[in-house]
Amino acid sequence: MPETAGAVVAQGRRTCDRYSGCEGKPGPAMKGPSAADALRPVARTFRMLGVSDVGELAEFVKLVRIEHGIVRGDMLLSSAHTGKHLTMLLGGLACTFRRQEDGTRQIYTFRHPGDFIDLHRYVFPQADEQHLEVEALATCSIATIDNQSADQIVEHHPAFGRALWLAAMIEVNIARTRLAAMRWPAMRRVAHLLCEQLARRLSYGIDNGVIPISQIEVADATGLSTVHTNRVFQDLRKLGVLAMKRQTVEVVNKQRLQELAEFDARYLSADEHLSRWSVRPVL
Amino acid sequence: MPETAGAVVAQGRRTCDRYSGCEGKPGPAMKGPSAADALRPVARTFRMLGVSDVGELAEFVKLVRIEHGIVRGDMLLSSAHTGKHLTMLLGGLACTFRRQEDGTRQIYTFRHPGDFIDLHRYVFPQADEQHLEVEALATCSIATIDNQSADQIVEHHPAFGRALWLAAMIEVNIARTRLAAMRWPAMRRVAHLLCEQLARRLSYGIDNGVIPISQIEVADATGLSTVHTNRVFQDLRKLGVLAMKRQTVEVVNKQRLQELAEFDARYLSADEHLSRWSVRPVL
DNA sequence: CGTGCTGTTGAGGACGATCAATGACGGTGG
DNA sequence: CCACCGTCATTGATCGTCCTCAACAGCACG
């Protein structure tokens, strides 16, 4: 199916075109991203994770298969993908979640361009049992590389292994931070979640204060009820911190949001790109 | 007494001798653990993480430095350890936590024999900023290997790199499970935490239903107040599920505890040793 | 122009936090 | 050996954050 890129994106239903994780370059991309453009997040991510050798990177990129036009609501990593892959999100937004017995769903993390979305599948032999799902929240494109190729690269170029390992460690940091956040009052919890997403997008070069998620998704990620989440959002709007359109959060006042969240981006370990987020003094 | 303490352990203040993470082998180790005995968790862990080559393992073990007699309350990973190491807990029990601004502390995970306790330090250059602390909850012994040696081994023997990576992925699983657990009612949250510790100890061969932790520690890990935690414990005792002595939880009825927790050990990915924990049917 | 999803509003109730005090145990020093 | 002290466990009372239920409004899509 899609993999020639280009035209394919346009063929997509484009349900949420304006919400897609546009990198904010209004340049000459009118006719769809070239493969090189699309793969920019790959380079950025690996560079950030310590893979500096251009040759190594090129070798990895050669083995990658691109898929465009995955629309909101689609499952990335469906059972169709049982053939084991290593997958990176190139554009758009997605979330990793699990449905609990009582019907509620817990969103573990939001996925931004440059994120690996199936490390667990790559690492664990029987990861399907975990019932971890990944769903597109905006029009997405992904890059996949099959397990065997990935294995070989990791074996021959230790830097890649370390990069993936580092990515896993950052996931630990994120999960732990969210864990600690569950004890905070609702307002701070929501504010912190939004700060996290802003920071992550910023580190991938996306700097419009826009996050294409609904209140429901925020609720599922923070563990709050949708009703209470809604009330928090109203408060945040009254404070002039953010605006909200259907399924879109727009952060108007980053500074204030960050204060409300008492946000300290260091746990994301994306130093280079976070200069704009003040590092709070050690308490 | 338990693990018959080597001379070294015995020299420790032995504040909590009976609470130390006894491996439950009443064998002929009367005069203290030989290096081989002490290092058994190393082999077990790496085997579980896919390092099967005995030669590789031996090479690793050769570079290890053992330290005994770390007593309850001591900080493993103090600033004294600034020299970068990779550290594994060999015996005892510890916890990884962070103190929050408001004084409360969040315990992220309990550390059992065979756990790596400082992967974050090994991986992140400036991990100290994270203010992650590791404290002994019982008399502990650890094995450390300096960063450079570890680097070399990882580089020359990819299996080790993958093992450490796998360990990191399991940490992700644990953190995410705890995250989801924050939405459950207090009883289940506590029960689940205890099940997790039992399962982890079992996978390292410790099968007395004893966990040497206080109610305060359970509270700090589950995010409940100490008062409420106490009430939950009382309920669990009335149900005949567990008994409690000062700083010691004894699980009397595993089966029932597991039901209350709706515990499914698969996320720990320690398959081989968990035969006794029934795998719940997929819901 | 319905149908469905998202966002909004109100009322009532529950789970768990907080505050305050006491009991029990163990370790320490006189 | 006993008195002291700190930590851990326990109990009662009150309060608040957040959940649940229920209904409705708006927008997008077919």
Over residues B98-107, mean pLDDT: 93
Over residues A110-124, mean pLDDT: 92
Instruction: Please give the torsion angle defined by the CA atoms of residues B78, A179, A191 and A226, in that order, rounded to the nearest 10 degrees.
Output: -170
Residue A82 is predicted with a pLDDT of: 60
Which residue of A lies nearest to B219 if distances are taken between CA atoms? A183
Over residues A203-208, mean pLDDT: 86
Q: Model confidence at B277, in pLDDT bands (50, 70, 90)?
A: low
Q: Model confidence at A180, in pLDDT bands (50, 70, 90)?
A: very high
Which residue of A lies nearest to B105 if distances are taken between CA atoms? A180
Residue B204 is predicted with a pLDDT of: 82
Residue A130 is predicted with a pLDDT of: 79
Residue B205 is predicted with a pLDDT of: 84
Mutate to test the interface with A, among B110, B176, B182, B269 (most CBs of A within 10 A): B176
Let me know: does A162 contact B119? Beta carbons within 8 Å: no
Report the gap between the CA of A6 and the closest CA in chain B (Å): 35
Q: Which residues of the protein are close to the nucleic strand D, CB under 7 angstroms? A: A 15, 185-187, 189, 223-225, 227-228, 246; B 214-216, 226-227, 230-231, 233-234, 244, 246-247
Does A197 have pLDDT greater than 50? yes
Share of chain B above pLDDT 70, in %: 81
Tell me phi and psi for residue A31, to 5 degrees. Answer: -105, 25
Across the strands, what pairs with B116? Answer: B88
Better-scored residue on pLDDT, B136 or B31: B136
Per DSSP, the residues of B4-30 read G--HHHHHS--TTGGGS------SS-T
Report the gap between the CA of A226 and the closest CA in chain B (Å): 14
Instruction: Find, among A259, A183, A279, the residue nearest to B220 by Cα.
Output: A183
Token look-up 């993999």 returns A3
Distances in whole angstroms, Cα of residue A268 to Cα of each of A137, A188, B82, B121, B130? 22, 18, 22, 14, 10
Q: Model confidence at A177, in pLDDT bands (50, 70, 90)?
A: very high
Residue A79 is predicted with a pLDDT of: 59
The least confident of A47-51, A231-235, A257-261, B209-213 is A47-51
Per DSSP, the residues of A129-150 read GG--EEEESS-EEEEEEEHHHH
CA atoms within 13 A on the CB side of A82: 5
Nearest CB to B283: which of A101, A106, A172? A101
Residue B231 is predicted with a pLDDT of: 97
Better-scored residue on pLDDT, A80 or B176: B176
The least confident of B43-52, B59-68, B219-228, B250-259 is B43-52
Q: Model confidence at A19, in pLDDT bands (50, 70, 90)?
A: very low
With CB atoms and an 8 Å threshold, state whether A162 touches B161: yes
CA of B245 to C1' of D2 (A): 25
Residue A225 is predicted with a pLDDT of: 97
Distances in whole angstroms, Cα of residue A151 to Cα of each of A29, A51, A148, A156? 34, 16, 5, 9
Report the gap between the CA of B169 and the closest CA in chain A (Å): 6
Does A32 have pLDDT greater than 70? no
Does B281 have pLDDT greater than 50? no
Residue A33 is predicted with a pLDDT of: 60
Q: Which two tokens stand for residue B86?
A: 């990779």
Better-scored residue on pLDDT, A31 or B87: B87
Over residues A150-165, mean pLDDT: 88
Protein footprint on strand C: which nucleotides are under 7 Å from a CB? 6-11, 15-20, 25-28
Which residue of A lies nearest to B180 if distances are taken between CA atoms? A106
Residue A119 is predicted with a pLDDT of: 92
Residue B283 is predicted with a pLDDT of: 33
A contact set with B (CB within 8 A) = 98, 100-101, 104, 106, 108, 119-120, 123-124, 129-131, 154-155, 158, 161-162, 164-166, 168-169, 171-173, 175-176, 178-180, 182-183, 223, 262, 266-267, 269, 282-283
With CB atoms and an 8 Å threshold, state whether A172 touches B172: yes
Let me know: does B21 contact B206? Beta carbons within 8 Å: yes
Does A258 have pLDDT greater than 60? yes
Beta strands in B80-137 (DSSP E): 85-91, 94-99, 105-111, 133-136
Report the gap between the CA of A106 and the closest CA in chain B (Å): 6
With CB atoms and an 8 Å threshold, state whether B161 touches A164: no
pLDDT in tens, B201-256: 998 888 889 999 999 999 999 999 999 999 999 999 999 999 999 999 999 999 99
Residues of chain A contacting residue B158, judged by C-beta atoms under 8 Å apart: 154-155, 158, 161
Report the gap between the CA of A19 and the closest CA in chain B (Å): 28
pLDDT in tens, A44-67: 889 888 888 888 888 899 999 999
Query: Closest protein residue to D8 using CA and C1' atoms?
Result: B246
Q: Model confidence at B78, in pLDDT bands (50, 70, 90)?
A: low
pLDDT in tens, B111-127: 999 999 999 888 887 76
Share of chain B above pLDDT 90, in %: 51
Residues of chain A contacting residue B180, judged by C-beta atoms under 8 Å apart: 98, 100, 106
Residues of chain B contacting residue A104, judged by C-beta atoms under 8 Å apart: 183
Protein footprint on strand D: which nucleotides are under 7 Å from a CB? 8-13, 17-22, 27-29
Residue A280 is predicted with a pLDDT of: 46
Q: Model confidence at B96, in pLDDT bands (50, 70, 90)?
A: very high
What does the radius of gyration of chain A's CA atoms come to, in whole angstroms? 18
Residues of chain B contacting residue A228, judged by C-beta atoms under 8 Å apart: none
Token look-up 């290096």 returns B35
Better-scored residue on pLDDT, B71 or B222: B222
Residue A78 is predicted with a pLDDT of: 66
Better-scored residue on pLDDT, B43 or A272: B43
CA of A164 to C1' of C11 (A): 51
Residues of chain A contacting residue B186, judged by C-beta atoms under 8 Å apart: none
Does A14 have pLDDT greater than 50? no
With CB atoms and an 8 Å threshold, state whether B165 touches A120: no
Q: Model confidence at B52, in pLDDT bands (50, 70, 90)?
A: confident
Distances in whole angstroms, Cα of residue A87 to Cα of each of A56, A155, B163, B278? 18, 18, 21, 33
Q: Considering chain A, what is the average pLDDT of its residues?
A: 82
Does B183 have pLDDT greater than 90? yes
Question: Which nucleotide C1' is nearest A228 CA?
Answer: D18
Let me know: does B236 contact B242? Beta carbons within 8 Å: yes
Q: Considering chain B, what is the average pLDDT of its residues?
A: 82
